[in-house]
Structure formats: C-alpha cells, structure tokens
C-alpha cells in the first residue's frame, strides 16, 4: 500500500461511517418527531445491529491497520488528511481503552437511567435517580482513567465536548463572568421591571408554524435542505449540506419560545451545512465542538435575534400573523424579549442569567467527579448554589437537580460549552463589527452579509482546526471574555435604563 492508496481507503472508510451515522441519526430524529409508540421495539434491534457495525468498522483490525500506516506517513499527507488521522487516532484511543464488557454494561445503564430520570423528574423524587447517577459518575470516572490515566478525570470529560478545555481555563472564565454578571443582575433586579405581558398574547399554533417558516427564510435556511420537526425539547441534527433537521415546539401562550428556539437551532444548521465542499462525507465535515456550535446558535438566537433591529424586522411578520400584537411597539417588544430575572429552569433562562445556571452545573460536576460530595447530598448542594448565584430558593427536585437530561445520558462535562459559546459569540460580534455594519445588515433584512462573514471565518473550516485555534484566528487575537460581559452590560443597561 502506498500513501495515495491509504488515503483512498480512508475516504472509503469515512464514507461508510457517514452512511451508518446518517441511518442511525435519521432513526433517532424519526423517534423524536413522528415514530409510533411501539416503534422502539424494532428500532432497538436495528440500532443495536447498526451501532455494532459502526463500532467494528471504526475500531476493527482493518481500520486500525490503516490508521497505523497513516500515522507512520504523516509527513506525506496534506494538512487536511493529517487532521483526519489525528481525529481518528483520538477517537480510537478513547473507544478501545474501554473494556467491551464495561462499555456494554454502561450502555445498558444509561439506557435504563434515562427512563428512570424521566420518572423521577415527573414525581419530583431525586431518590429514584440517585443510585443511577452515582453509577454513571463511577463509570465515567473509570473510563477517563482508562483513556487518559495521566490526566485529571474532569479535564478529560471537558475535553470530550470542547477539545482543549480544562478546569484551569474554566476557573478563569467563570470567575471573570461572576465578577461582572452578579452585580449587573443586582442592578437589573433593583430597576423598574419590564412589562412582559405581550409575551403571553395568544398566538394560534398554525400561525406560529407559518412564523417559523418565515423566520427560517430570514435566517437564510433553504427550504429544500432544512426541515422543521416538532418536539418537546428542541434540537437540531445535520447530516450533510443537503439534509438538515431542526426542531421546535409551539405553545399558544408563549410564541417567543418557538421563535427563539427556531433561530437557535437554525444557527446550528447553518454551521453544519457550510463546511467546505471538499470535506463532505469525511470526518472533517460539520461543526468542530459543542462550544463553537453554541457560539453560532446563540449568536443567531440572542445577538441577532434579540437585537432592536431584528425585532423591528420581525415585527411586521409578527403582527400580520397575530394582529393582537399590533398593540405593542417594536421598542416594547424588544424590551419584553430581553426581560431578565433569576429563574429556576436553565432552558427558559434569559440571556443575562443563563451563564449563572451553567456555573451551578460546573461546580456540581467538579465536585461529583472529584468525589467531594455524596450523591445523597447533591440536591442540597444544588439548592445552595442556586441561592448563592441566583438568589432564589429551589422548591423541589423537579425544578432543581432533575431538570436537565444530560447526566442521565452520561454527558458530564458538556454544560460549560454553552457559556463558552455565548462568550465566543460576543467576541465574534466585536470582530465582525470592525468591517461590517452588523446592525445595518439586520435592519435591511440582509442577514446573508453576516452569514458570509461567519462562513469565511468559522463554518467553512469544518473540523480542520481545533476549537481554540479556530476562534483565535477568527478573533485575530486571544479569547477575552470581557467582550461578552461588556456586551451584556451595554445591552441590559439600555433595556433597563440603568
Ligand atoms: Zn444549541
């Protein structure tokens, strides 16, 4: 085998991996949106077969032999192919480090745990979920030990979602946010409250569906390659430039919820579908990390979607589809969409308090993984942190520690990427504003000017660059969270006349 043949083999292998991932992803999307209740029975079988095929394909003898060959010939490879080898090598090491029997036991545990978590949440009874959470943390800690015995286990987990992220970086980042967001929130709480009555204006669901399509067009998502599904917890999933599924939910008395979840998921889809064409069907296609992904989704949701100019742009569409909203000016709408107050639920939190919800979870995860706190005491710790960071009392587990699904699925280390993404987005806005009249582009409804900038600086790279390097190149300098806190101070000083 020569290097050219090896790269051809790599292309074939990654196409097969794409195909299996595509099939499984479509099945999961189908499950979340339209599949009938009992379809879980055949789907369980099919997913079992496909995931075993996928595991064997990616970590079997042939793939590992190819990887070894390519690693020995790195200097003959292009920068793109070297990165592909690097990504595969990292994934293969992680997967193969875990003994198969433990991997299977863990899959069974998380499969069961998600059902138990749902029941515990409905009954607001942490005790039901507690033994599962304890076991999940134990497994995760052991897996980290297998894959990276020399590293701190929580650092290893953070790196799974945001390559290069460590607790040291998180500490600096969260400290700088806390120092400025906590006093800012105190000022907002002391200010005259914003009138949010218009947010509960009844907005018929068929009209909200039409609104979602109009917003999709404004955001620049092509109808022929992106579809909107309806689910309880919105998400998006992208398979190639030509096949993107975003989701939302509709509540008649809360139209802003679907409006902003649509813009958020649309941001994910835009990122996913604009990798360089040459990366299609390879491991370089799509978004590079959760943090960078959230920087794009939250950019469209908050920085663009909650700007004065966007609200003015959307107002004629909103009043056409829901004439009762004619009673409110664009200014009133803008203030209502930016109302901020401490609340219990992360997914419903406003832009200002959102990072405080993330910090609570970061402190919890750190303590859980270190073993500093007994699983029985976790709700107490959660409630104390909500009191400390947000100044509110948590009434029960349902509105407290049981609210998110992440831990039941084993996703420990994921949360910090949400806050990091928000901060990345604000610094991108600063950089973009040096060469582009961002507010002007939104005012004239020409969001393509913004998306071309993001495509050029972020999207087209796919997974080629590591997240921190990608962002530093886009910023043309180091990451600095002060851009984010400056942005929040400016916006909320305006919204609340501080
Ligand atoms: Zn998101």
CA of 162 to the centre of ligand 1 (A): 14
Residues 6+ apart with CB under 8 A from 395: 344
Rounded to the nearest angstrom, the distance between the alpha carbon of 290 and the centre of ligand 1 is 8
Rounded CA separation 295/304 (Å): 12
Stretch among 34-38, 133-137, 286-290, 454-458 having the lowest mean pLDDT: 34-38
| Lowest model confidence (mean pLDDT) among 102-106, 207-211, 401-405, 449-453 | 102-106
Ligand 1 centroid to 284 CA: how many Å?
20
* Residue pair 262/210 in contact by the 8 Å Cβ criterion: no
* Spacing, Cα 305 to ligand 1 middle (Å): 14
Query: pLDDT tens digit string along 323-379?
Result: 999 999 999 999 999 999 999 999 889 999 999 999 999 999 999 999 999 999 999
What's the CA-to-centroid distance between 189 and ligand 1, angstroms? 27
Out of 5-9, 110-114, 116-120, 181-185, least confident range: 110-114
Three-state secondary structure call for residue 348 = helix
CA of 29 from ligand 1 middle (Å) equals 16
Q: Is the per-residue pLDDT at 133 higher than 90? A: yes
Task: Kindly report, residue by residue over 396-447, the tens digit of the pLDDT.
Answer: 999 999 999 899 989 999 999 999 999 999 999 999 999 999 999 999 999 9
Whole-number Å distance between alpha carbons of 142 and 136: 10
Contact 424, 292 (CB under 8 A): yes
Q: What is the pLDDT of residue 421?
A: 97
Q: What is the mean pLDDT of the chain?
A: 95
Which whole number is the average pLDDT over 234-246? 92
pLDDT of residue 331: 96
Question: Which residue in 378, 368, 370 sits closest to 402, CA to CA?
Answer: 378
- Measured in Å, residue 323 CA sits from the centre of ligand 1 at 31
Per-residue pLDDT averaged across 118-145, rounded?
96
Structural domains in the chain? 3-150 (no CATH), 167-495 (1.10.1370.30)
Q: How far is the CA of 155 from the centre of ligand 1 (A)?
A: 22
Per-residue pLDDT at 107 exceeds 90: no
Question: Rounded distance, CA 369 to CA 253, Å?
Answer: 40
Coil vs helix vs strand at 248:
strand
Gap between the Cα atoms of 498 and 496, Å rounded = 5
- What pLDDT digit, counting tens, does each position of 178-213 carry? 999 999 999 999 999 999 999 999 999 999 999 999
Residue positions annotated with a catalytic role: 265
CA of 149 to the centre of ligand 1 (A): 31
| Overall average pLDDT of the 20-31 stretch | 91
Q: Which residue did the predictor score with more confidence, 338 or 36? A: 338
């Amino acid at each position: 085998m020569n290097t050219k043949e090896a790269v051809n083999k790599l292309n074939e292998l990654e196409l097969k991996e794409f195909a299996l991932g595509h099939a499984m992803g479509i099945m999961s999307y189908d499950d979340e949106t339209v599949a009938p209740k009992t379809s879980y029975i055949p789907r369980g079988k099919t997913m079992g077969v496909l995931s075993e095929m996928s595991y064997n394909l990616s970590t079997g003898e042939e793939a590992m032999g190819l990887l070894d060959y390519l690693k020995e010939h790195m200097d003959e490879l292009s920068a793109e192919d070297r990165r592909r080898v690097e990504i595969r090598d990292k994934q293969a090491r992680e997967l193969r480090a875990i003994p198969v029997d433990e991997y299977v036991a863990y899959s069974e545990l998380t499969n069961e745990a998600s059902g138990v978590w749902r029941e515990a949440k409905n009954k607001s009874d942490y005790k039901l979920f507690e033994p599962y959470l304890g076991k999940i943390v134990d497994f995760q800690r052991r897996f980290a030990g297998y894959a990276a015995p020399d590293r701190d286990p929580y650092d290893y987990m953070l790196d799974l979602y945001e390559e290069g992220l460590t607790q040291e970086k998180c500490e600096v980042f969260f400290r700088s946010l806390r120092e400025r967001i906590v006093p800012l929130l105190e000022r907002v709480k002391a200010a005259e409250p914003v009138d949010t009555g218009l947010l509960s204006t009844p907005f018929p669901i068929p009209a909200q569906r039409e609104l979602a399509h109009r917003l999709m067009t404004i955001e620049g998502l092509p109808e022929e390659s992106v579809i909107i599904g309806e689910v309880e917890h919105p998400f998006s999933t992208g398979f190639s430039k030509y096949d993107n599924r975003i989701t939302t939910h509709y509540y008649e008395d809360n139209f802003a919820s679907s409006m902003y979840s649509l813009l958020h998921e649309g941001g994910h889809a835009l990122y996913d579908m604009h990798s360089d064409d040459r990366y299609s069907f390879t491991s370089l296609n799509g978004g590079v990390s959760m943090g960078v992904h959230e920087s794009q989704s939250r950019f469209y949701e908050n920085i663009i979607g909650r700007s004065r100019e966007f609200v003015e742009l959307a107002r004629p569409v909103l009043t056409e589809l829901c004439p009762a909203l004619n009673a409110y000016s664009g200014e009133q709408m803008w203030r209502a969409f930016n109302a901020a107050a401490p609340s219990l639920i992360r997914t419903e939190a406003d832009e200002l308090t959102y990072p405080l919800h993330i910090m609570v979870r970061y402190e919890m995860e750190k303590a859980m993984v270190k073993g500093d706190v007994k699983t029985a005491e976790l709700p107490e710790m959660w409630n104390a942190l909500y009191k400390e960071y947000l100044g509110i009392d948590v009434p029960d587990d349902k509105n407290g520690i049981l609210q998110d699904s992440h831990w039941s699925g084993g996703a420990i280390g994921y949360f910090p990427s949400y806050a990091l993404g928000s901060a990345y987005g604000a610094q991108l806005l600063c950089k973009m504003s040096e060469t582009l009249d961002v507010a002007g582009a939104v005012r004239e409804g020409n969001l393509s000017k913004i998306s071309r900038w993001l495509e050029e600086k972020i999207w087209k790279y796919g997974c080629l660059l590591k997240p921190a390097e990608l962002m530093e190149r886009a910023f043309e300098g180091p990451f600095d969270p002060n851009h984010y806190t400056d942005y929040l101070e400016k916006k909320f000083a305006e919204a609340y006349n501080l």
